Amino acid sequence: MDVSNLGLIDFHAAYAIQERLVAQVASGEAPETLLLLEHPPVYTIGSGGSEANVLDPAISVVRTNRGGDVTWHGPGQLVGYPVIDLGRRGRDLHRYLRFLEELSIRVAGEFGVAARRVPGKTGIWTDRGKLASIGVGVRRWVAMHGFALNVAPDLEPFARINPCGMAGCPVTSLAREADAEPTVAEVAARVECLFPHLLNELLPCETETEGGRHVCCRLQVARGKAPLDVR
Protein backbone atom coordinates (compact mmCIF):
# COMPACT_ATOMS: atom_id res chain seq x y z
CA MET A 1 0.00 0.00 0.00
CA ASP A 2 1.17 3.50 -0.84
CA VAL A 3 0.35 6.61 1.19
CA SER A 4 0.63 9.97 -0.59
CA ASN A 5 0.05 13.36 1.03
CA LEU A 6 -1.02 15.74 -1.73
CA GLY A 7 -1.37 18.86 0.43
CA LEU A 8 -3.88 21.46 -0.78
CA ILE A 9 -5.19 20.30 -4.15
CA ASP A 10 -8.13 21.19 -6.39
CA PHE A 11 -11.05 18.77 -6.20
CA HIS A 12 -11.01 18.01 -9.94
CA ALA A 13 -7.26 17.33 -9.92
CA ALA A 14 -7.63 14.93 -6.99
CA TYR A 15 -10.56 13.25 -8.73
CA ALA A 16 -8.42 12.69 -11.84
CA ILE A 17 -5.74 11.03 -9.71
CA GLN A 18 -8.35 8.76 -8.15
CA GLU A 19 -9.73 7.81 -11.56
CA ARG A 20 -6.26 6.84 -12.75
CA LEU A 21 -5.52 4.87 -9.61
CA VAL A 22 -8.85 3.02 -9.71
CA ALA A 23 -8.06 1.75 -13.21
CA GLN A 24 -4.51 0.81 -12.23
CA VAL A 25 -5.52 -0.97 -9.01
CA ALA A 26 -8.27 -2.86 -10.83
CA SER A 27 -5.78 -4.06 -13.45
CA GLY A 28 -3.08 -4.87 -10.91
CA GLU A 29 -0.75 -2.15 -12.23
CA ALA A 30 -0.68 -0.18 -8.96
CA PRO A 31 -0.95 -0.99 -5.23
CA GLU A 32 -3.82 0.14 -3.07
CA THR A 33 -3.24 3.80 -2.22
CA LEU A 34 -4.34 6.21 0.49
CA LEU A 35 -4.43 9.86 -0.63
CA LEU A 36 -4.42 12.45 2.17
CA LEU A 37 -5.15 16.07 1.27
CA GLU A 38 -7.08 19.29 1.74
CA HIS A 39 -9.28 20.99 -0.86
CA PRO A 40 -9.77 24.65 -1.63
CA PRO A 41 -13.40 25.56 -0.75
CA VAL A 42 -15.83 23.46 -2.77
CA TYR A 43 -19.32 22.00 -2.36
CA THR A 44 -19.85 18.47 -3.69
CA ILE A 45 -22.91 16.27 -3.92
CA GLY A 46 -23.29 12.51 -4.36
CA SER A 47 -24.82 10.88 -7.41
CA GLY A 48 -28.17 10.43 -5.66
CA GLY A 49 -28.09 13.65 -3.65
CA SER A 50 -30.83 16.28 -3.84
CA GLU A 51 -29.96 19.84 -4.81
CA ALA A 52 -32.87 20.88 -2.59
CA ASN A 53 -30.35 20.46 0.22
CA VAL A 54 -28.36 23.39 -1.19
CA LEU A 55 -29.93 26.29 0.70
CA ASP A 56 -28.08 29.16 -1.00
CA PRO A 57 -28.87 29.50 -4.74
CA ALA A 58 -25.52 31.25 -5.26
CA ILE A 59 -23.65 28.06 -4.42
CA SER A 60 -22.11 26.10 -7.28
CA VAL A 61 -22.07 22.36 -6.53
CA VAL A 62 -19.91 19.66 -8.12
CA ARG A 63 -21.80 16.40 -8.65
CA THR A 64 -19.67 13.30 -8.10
CA ASN A 65 -19.99 9.52 -8.37
CA ARG A 66 -19.81 8.93 -4.62
CA GLY A 67 -22.74 8.08 -2.38
CA GLY A 68 -24.27 10.53 0.08
CA ASP A 69 -25.65 14.03 -0.33
CA VAL A 70 -24.18 17.53 -0.31
CA THR A 71 -21.17 18.51 1.78
CA TRP A 72 -18.45 21.14 1.89
CA HIS A 73 -14.68 20.72 1.69
CA GLY A 74 -12.12 23.37 2.51
CA PRO A 75 -8.84 24.19 4.24
CA GLY A 76 -8.61 22.83 7.75
CA GLN A 77 -10.49 19.66 6.83
CA LEU A 78 -8.49 16.46 6.31
CA VAL A 79 -9.78 14.48 3.34
CA GLY A 80 -8.81 10.85 2.84
CA TYR A 81 -9.33 9.08 -0.47
CA PRO A 82 -8.42 5.38 -0.10
CA VAL A 83 -8.31 3.52 -3.40
CA ILE A 84 -8.97 0.03 -2.05
CA ASP A 85 -9.64 -3.26 -3.83
CA LEU A 86 -12.81 -4.51 -2.16
CA GLY A 87 -12.88 -7.37 -4.65
CA ARG A 88 -10.30 -9.14 -2.47
CA ARG A 89 -11.64 -7.77 0.82
CA GLY A 90 -15.04 -9.42 0.97
CA ARG A 91 -17.01 -7.24 -1.50
CA ASP A 92 -18.93 -5.76 1.42
CA LEU A 93 -19.52 -2.04 0.96
CA HIS A 94 -21.35 -1.63 4.28
CA ARG A 95 -18.45 -3.22 6.13
CA TYR A 96 -16.08 -0.83 4.37
CA LEU A 97 -18.16 2.17 5.45
CA ARG A 98 -18.02 0.93 9.05
CA PHE A 99 -14.24 0.61 8.68
CA LEU A 100 -13.97 4.27 7.64
CA GLU A 101 -16.13 5.25 10.60
CA GLU A 102 -13.98 3.21 12.97
CA LEU A 103 -10.84 4.83 11.58
CA SER A 104 -12.30 8.31 12.11
CA ILE A 105 -13.46 7.46 15.64
CA ARG A 106 -10.04 6.14 16.64
CA VAL A 107 -8.23 9.12 15.12
CA ALA A 108 -10.50 11.51 17.03
CA GLY A 109 -9.78 9.52 20.18
CA GLU A 110 -6.06 10.08 19.67
CA PHE A 111 -6.78 13.77 20.32
CA GLY A 112 -9.02 13.18 23.33
CA VAL A 113 -12.30 13.53 21.43
CA ALA A 114 -15.00 10.92 22.07
CA ALA A 115 -16.82 10.37 18.77
CA ARG A 116 -19.44 7.77 17.92
CA ARG A 117 -21.71 6.41 15.23
CA VAL A 118 -25.39 7.32 14.97
CA PRO A 119 -27.60 4.32 14.11
CA GLY A 120 -28.96 4.47 10.59
CA LYS A 121 -26.58 7.24 9.46
CA THR A 122 -23.11 7.27 7.91
CA GLY A 123 -20.33 9.32 9.50
CA ILE A 124 -19.31 10.09 13.07
CA TRP A 125 -20.68 12.51 15.67
CA THR A 126 -19.94 14.04 19.05
CA ASP A 127 -22.50 15.60 21.37
CA ARG A 128 -21.97 18.90 19.53
CA GLY A 129 -22.47 17.70 15.97
CA LYS A 130 -21.15 15.77 13.02
CA LEU A 131 -17.37 15.47 13.04
CA ALA A 132 -16.67 13.48 9.87
CA SER A 133 -18.55 12.77 6.66
CA ILE A 134 -18.11 9.60 4.63
CA GLY A 135 -19.06 8.82 1.05
CA VAL A 136 -17.58 6.31 -1.37
CA GLY A 137 -17.91 5.20 -4.96
CA VAL A 138 -17.06 1.74 -6.30
CA ARG A 139 -15.98 0.70 -9.77
CA ARG A 140 -15.14 -2.94 -10.55
CA TRP A 141 -15.07 -3.38 -6.75
CA VAL A 142 -12.32 -0.78 -6.38
CA ALA A 143 -13.40 1.94 -3.94
CA MET A 144 -12.68 5.66 -4.31
CA HIS A 145 -13.61 8.88 -2.43
CA GLY A 146 -13.70 8.28 1.34
CA PHE A 147 -13.84 10.49 4.43
CA ALA A 148 -13.64 14.17 5.38
CA LEU A 149 -12.64 14.83 9.00
CA ASN A 150 -13.11 18.36 10.31
CA VAL A 151 -9.87 19.35 12.01
CA ALA A 152 -10.03 23.14 12.20
CA PRO A 153 -12.02 24.44 9.22
CA ASP A 154 -14.34 27.42 9.00
CA LEU A 155 -17.69 25.79 9.83
CA GLU A 156 -19.85 28.65 8.47
CA PRO A 157 -20.10 27.16 4.94
CA PHE A 158 -22.04 24.20 6.36
CA ALA A 159 -24.85 26.61 7.33
CA ARG A 160 -25.56 27.17 3.63
CA ILE A 161 -26.52 23.51 3.06
CA ASN A 162 -28.29 20.64 4.76
CA PRO A 163 -25.08 18.72 5.53
CA CYS A 164 -25.28 15.21 4.07
CA GLY A 165 -28.96 15.90 3.37
CA MET A 166 -29.88 16.37 7.05
CA ALA A 167 -31.78 19.56 7.82
CA GLY A 168 -30.59 21.32 10.95
CA CYS A 169 -27.57 19.04 11.31
CA PRO A 170 -24.93 20.71 13.51
CA VAL A 171 -21.31 20.32 12.42
CA THR A 172 -18.29 20.35 14.70
CA SER A 173 -14.50 19.98 14.49
CA LEU A 174 -11.58 18.63 16.47
CA ALA A 175 -10.56 22.24 17.13
CA ARG A 176 -13.86 22.81 18.98
CA GLU A 177 -13.77 19.49 20.81
CA ALA A 178 -10.13 18.90 21.75
CA ASP A 179 -8.30 20.50 24.66
CA ALA A 180 -5.42 21.48 22.36
CA GLU A 181 -6.19 22.35 18.74
CA PRO A 182 -4.47 19.86 16.41
CA THR A 183 -3.09 20.69 12.99
CA VAL A 184 -4.11 18.93 9.79
CA ALA A 185 -0.56 17.56 9.52
CA GLU A 186 -0.78 16.05 13.01
CA VAL A 187 -4.12 14.39 12.25
CA ALA A 188 -2.87 13.15 8.88
CA ALA A 189 0.10 11.51 10.63
CA ARG A 190 -2.25 9.60 12.95
CA VAL A 191 -4.42 8.50 10.01
CA GLU A 192 -1.34 7.28 8.15
CA CYS A 193 -0.26 5.27 11.19
CA LEU A 194 -3.65 3.77 12.06
CA PHE A 195 -5.02 3.12 8.57
CA PRO A 196 -2.98 0.04 7.56
CA HIS A 197 -3.35 -1.62 10.95
CA LEU A 198 -7.12 -1.19 10.96
CA LEU A 199 -7.33 -2.30 7.35
CA ASN A 200 -5.63 -5.55 8.30
CA GLU A 201 -7.78 -5.90 11.41
CA LEU A 202 -11.17 -5.06 9.93
CA LEU A 203 -10.81 -5.73 6.18
CA PRO A 204 -8.26 -8.52 5.78
CA CYS A 205 -7.32 -9.38 2.23
CA GLU A 206 -7.55 -12.83 0.75
CA THR A 207 -4.83 -14.14 -1.54
CA GLU A 208 -4.58 -17.31 -3.54
CA THR A 209 -2.17 -20.01 -2.37
CA GLU A 210 -1.45 -23.45 -3.75
CA GLY A 211 -3.54 -25.02 -1.01
CA GLY A 212 -6.49 -22.64 -1.25
CA ARG A 213 -7.18 -19.23 0.25
CA HIS A 214 -5.61 -17.59 3.26
CA VAL A 215 -5.91 -14.23 5.00
CA CYS A 216 -2.96 -11.84 4.74
CA CYS A 217 -1.45 -11.07 8.12
CA ARG A 218 0.20 -7.75 7.34
CA LEU A 219 0.64 -4.93 4.85
CA GLN A 220 3.83 -3.19 3.86
CA VAL A 221 3.15 0.55 3.74
CA ALA A 222 5.29 2.93 1.69
CA ARG A 223 5.56 6.21 3.61
CA GLY A 224 7.23 9.45 2.65
CA LYS A 225 6.48 8.87 -1.00
CA ALA A 226 6.86 11.79 -3.38
CA PRO A 227 3.56 13.45 -4.33
CA LEU A 228 1.81 11.91 -7.31
CA ASP A 229 1.85 13.68 -10.65
CA VAL A 230 -1.37 15.74 -10.71
CA ARG A 231 -1.37 16.50 -14.42
Give 43-58 pLDDT, tens digit per residue: 999 999 999 999 999 9
Instruction: Check pLDDT > 50 for residue 17.
Output: yes
Please indicate, yes or no, if residue 223 is contained in any of the structural domains.
no
Please indicate, yes or no, if residue 73 is contained in any of the structural domains.
yes
Instruction: Check pLDDT > 70 for residue 225.
Output: no
Q: Evaluate whether 164 touches 150 at the Cβ level (below 8 Å).
A: no
Please indicate, yes or no, if residue 230 is contained in any of the structural domains.
no
Please indicate, yes or no, if residue 229 is contained in any of the structural domains.
no
Distance between alpha carbon 155 and the CA centroid of its chain, in Å? 18
Q: Which of 164, 205, 216, 217 is catalytic?
A: 164
Q: Which of 14-23, 100-109, 200-209 has the lowest mean pLDDT?
A: 200-209
| Residue 164 annotated in active site | yes
Please indicate, yes or no, if residue 17 is contained in any of the structural domains.
yes
Range of the domain at 135: 2-215
- Beta-strand runs (E) in the chain: 2-8, 33-38, 42-45, 61-63, 71-73, 77-85, 124-126, 129-139, 142-150, 206-209, 212-215
Looking up residue 95, the CATH number of its domain turns out to be 3.30.930.10
Domain count, the chain: 1
Please indicate, yes or no, if residue 228 is contained in any of the structural domains.
no
Instruction: List, for residues 139-174, the tens digit of each pLDDT value.
Output: 999 999 999 999 999 999 999 999 999 999 999 999
Please indicate, yes or no, if residue 231 is contained in any of the structural domains.
no
Please indicate, yes or no, if residue 184 is contained in any of the structural domains.
yes
- For the whole model, what pTM was predicted? 0.90
